[in-house]
Amino acid sequence: MSYRQLNIINLEIEPYQKIWDFQKKLHQLRLGNLIDDTFILLEHPHTYTLGKSANENHLLADDRSLNENRIDVFEIDRGGDITYHGPGQIVGYPIIKLDELYEDVHKYLRELEEIIIRTLDEYNIKSERNDDYTGVWINNNKIAAIGIKVSRWITMHGFAFNVNTDLSYFDKIIPCGIFEKGVTSLSAELGTKIPLKNVKDVVIKHFCKIFNYDSIKHFSSMDEFNNEFHSIEFEGA
């Protein structure tokens, strides 16, 4: 296998639309081999996203409640149903050329799950897959949701890993359209909050191991990434 370089764009809280547009731009750049594989890590403000198979009835909040709580809602092009993004949750968006590794979307989903499972192992928390539902689970509760899009073997979207997440926002939806199960977070399992930076570092370590990267280039802002590729104009950067 050839030498594998990864760009990591490590952000704080960014609006959903801005990052969705950024993903689309990165997808085109990766397709044209203008950038290496790129992994965005960040938080979003309070947001509900509905995937391609979402049932609108799984959004329980009415417009008034959404406005009062300043929750944005987006219908997007990933797989899956409805989920929540918000502060304290690590969201990871890999923009990678999957066919350089393999042409198997199901394997890719399992490897995203494995990244979270290994991360939780480092906090002495046993988690697992569920035979019926994508994601990472602790008993009957989901701790990480996964929804992706793969177009021309370039990936978009990714995972949402509850670390210090306010889980009450899941009360306003049927998470992932699953009625009979709940949600949890790393802080709920440990009984204390964990610095997000520490957890991100563990996620990055396992991401690089699982996808076999030889070197990493770190960026702490979209502007910094844009300056590296100064001939390319990024919308919203």
Q: Tens digits of per-residue pLDDT, 47-101?
A: 999 988 878 888 888 899 999 999 999 888 888 888 999 999 999 999 999 999 9
Tell me which of 13-27, 43-57, 118-132, 206-220 is least confident: 43-57
Residue-averaged pLDDT of the chain = 93
| Bridge partners, 187 (sequence order) | none
Please give the backbone phi and psi of residue 3, each rounded to the nearest 5 degrees, phi first. Answer: -60, 130
State the Cα angle at 53 between 184 and 100, rounded to 5°: 85
E strand or H helix at 66, and its extent?
helix 63-68
Q: Find the helix packing angle between 105-121 and 196-210, rounded to 10°.
A: 140
The proportion of the chain whose per-residue pLDDT surpasses 70, expressed as a percent, equals 96
pLDDT digits (tens, 9 = 90+) for 163-220: 999 999 998 878 777 777 899 999 999 999 999 999 999 999 999 999 999 999 999 9
Closest to 202 in 3D by CA, of 41, 33, 59: 41
Does the pLDDT of residue 125 top 90, yes or no? yes
* Mean pLDDT value across residues 114-143: 96
Q: Is the pLDDT reported for residue 233 higher than 70?
A: no
Q: What CATH fold (topology level) applies to the domain 5-194+216-228?
A: BirA Bifunctional Protein; domain 2 (3.30.930)
- Any idea where the domains of the chain sit in the sequence? 5-194+216-228
Conformational region of residue 176, where left means phi above 0, alpha means psi within -120 to 50, and beta covers everything else: left
Catalytic residue among 146, 167, 176, 203: 176
pLDDT band at 235 (very low <50, low <70, confident <90, very high): very low
Give pLDDT, residue 232: 54
Measured from the Cβ of residue 65, the count of other Cβ atoms closer than 10 Å reads: 11
Q: Known catalytic residue: 208?
A: no
Q: How much is the pLDDT for 236?
A: 44
Closest CA to 179 of 62, 58, 74: 58
Q: How far apart are CA 186 and CA 83, in angstroms?
A: 17
Give the mean pLDDT of 110-120.
99
Pairing, β 37-43 against β 5-13: parallel
